[in-house]
Amino acid sequence: MKKTLYIHVGHYKTGTTALQVFLSQNAKKLRRHGLDYTEVFRHHGKHSKFAFSLYRAAKVQTLMHGYKDPTPPEKLWSELFEAVLASPAKTVLISSEEFMRLGAHPAAGARLGDIVSGVRGKIDIRIIAYLRSPAAHLRSWYNQMVKMSAATTDYNTAVCQVMEPVHYDYALALRPWIEIFGAEAVLLRPYQEDFRRDGGLFRDFLSLFGLDYDNPPGRHGWVVPEKDVNPRLDDRLLELTRALHLADVPDDLAHWITHRAGVVLQQQDKDLIAGAQGFDTVAERVRQGLSQLETLPGCAVDLASFQQDLPRPEAPWRADLGLVLATLLREQNLLRDRLQERSTELRTRIAALEARLDRDT
């Protein structure tokens, strides 16, 4: 029986972490039904070691996240191929978004090409990639970089000078996979923004293997992550988070400040809804009032132009900015108060010690 190895290569910010958690939690059930999400070098639900070994061999230094394993990629991949051939399932799957960086490092791609040449004819290898609309992807990746304290530049600079081109040049990202395995082996799926709801991503992914998310095999259903496993940082907190990192604010304090700002913004969201509805009422009152003035014989005011300039609510970002600044100032005031209290306490203790010394002398 010829085996098939599927390599899920990402892309980043297409629900890969949630998908990997889902596959790990359901690995036994999937294996019983022909899909082996292999445990070989699976760490934290993903198989990034296979990608990092290639980058290390290619002398890549950036974004290695502390990877220092000296094991040659040939040995790691050989163990994977042995596991594929020995698996009771016909289909084996590995997953890591780190594979998507292969297009940025040609030497790593060439190394993988040499490695897989030895199993051609023994194992069919197919590639799965999800792509998100470019603008949404770049915004989401920048959000992730700031959340991980990996970006201290503004968005424009990050896109043009910091991000690897595979984040906006999808052809580059997929080129090595197409060149190594052939265009017919690459499955491209569109990442939909609503995939986060109602198991949308899991449903789409399982369908590639003939499995039905809505009608799971066996008596028990799928195990689904209880919460978002990689929550997005509120975009309104990006600049605050970046500023705190630039200012070398300790991580625990920075986390507290952004948390407090997030709580305030959530409350404001509720107020903004009510405020927007209230503005509709205000604008209607203005319109009706101006209409009543049209009959005044001595009116020289251009009421028609007034009707075109009815009151409208401000853009939400203005209120957001004010609340974020208020949070920072509040923390500054609290810190100042604590310093003043401590200073007063120390002055009191020093005065007591001096008085005691005066008595002893």
Task: Compute the distance between CA of residue 21 and CA of residue 228 in angstroms, rounded to an integer.
Answer: 10
| Percent share of the chain, pLDDT over 70 | 92
Which distant-in-sequence residues (6+ apart) come within 8 Å of 334 by Cβ?
none
**123-148 per-position pLDDT tens digit:** 999 999 999 999 999 999 989 988 88
Residue 323 has pLDDT above 90, yes or no: no
Residue 319 has pLDDT above 70, yes or no: no
Q: Which helix (H) or strand (E) holds 182?
A: none
pTM check: above 0.75: yes
Determine the pLDDT at residue 279: 72
Residue 90 has pLDDT above 90, yes or no: yes
Average pLDDT of the chain to the nearest whole number? 88
Determine the pLDDT at residue 318: 63
CA-based nearest residue to 58, from 114, 111, 9, 117: 111
Residue 57 has pLDDT above 90, yes or no: yes
> Rounded to 5 degrees, what angle do the CA atoms 156, 158, 159 make?
70
CATH architecture of 3-231: 3-Layer(aba) Sandwich (3.40)
- The DSSP annotation for 214-282 comes to SS-SSSS-----SS-SSPPPPGGGHHHHHHHHHTT--HHHHHHHHHHHHHHHHHHHHHHHHHHHHHHHH
3-state secondary structure of 94: strand
Q: Is the distance from CB of 331 to CB of 247 less than 8 angstroms? A: no
Q: What is the mean pLDDT of residues 142-157?
A: 83
Q: What is the mean pLDDT of residues 237-266?
A: 79
- Which range has the worst mean pLDDT, 7-11, 26-30, 265-269? 265-269
**Domain limits, the chain:** 3-231, 238-360
Task: Compute the distance between CA of residue 335 and CA of residue 333 in angstroms, rounded to an integer.
Answer: 5
